Amino acid sequence: MNDAFQLIRKHRGEGLLVDTNLLLLHLVGKTNPGRIQNFKRTSRYTVEDFDVLVEIIAQFGTLITTPHVLTELSNLGRLQGDEQLSFRSCFVDVIEQATEHCDESRSVVKDPSFERLGPTDAAISALSRHNYLFLTDDMDLCITLLNRGVDVVNFSYQQQLRWAL
């Protein structure tokens, strides 16, 4: 795997695709950093992880996403009361600022990765045809992308990312 810093520098102009789990961390952290470790879907992360993620995303002019990622993100991001309203506001900000790639589902399910990864990660994997940097903490997705010759950073090795930024 290439050095994260080099990959970030290489792809700043093309864009960054952040997988669903990390995008959820980003939105929950923007909503309330104190919620990160108390929210079921982000409890394995820390505020420091969120800070690293924010710094990485800030390095890019373009955030890349798919309708599959956004739908899954919406389904996973169920908070309560004012936090839900804040989360939805942050969600809208991401949608308005992101470049969304929409491959038809009939195309996504034909991707060789679909059976192993499911629709959301297969839609991400299908975007390997573009020159983006992919950021994930999902080892199966990471390996799939690496096998396709795609530049990917595994957020699970974020200690390397802390030094890179």
Confidence bin at 155 (pLDDT 50/70/90)? very high
* pLDDT per position as a tens digit, 121-133: 999 999 999 999 9
Name the band, by pLDDT with cuts 50, 70 and 90, for residue 157. Answer: confident
Q: Identify the sign of the CA torsion 81, 74, 161, 9.
A: negative
**Integer Cα distance of 84 and 8 in angstroms:** 32
- Position 5 confidence tier, pLDDT thresholds 50, 70, 90: confident
pLDDT of residue 1: 44
Helical pair 139-147 and 114-126, crossing angle rounded to 10 deg: 70
Q: Cβ(11)–Cβ(56) under 8 Å?
A: no
Residue 129: how many other CB atoms lie within 10 Å:
11
Q: What is the pLDDT of residue 160?
A: 56
pLDDT over threshold 50, residue 97: yes
CATH number given to 4-164: 3.40.50.1010
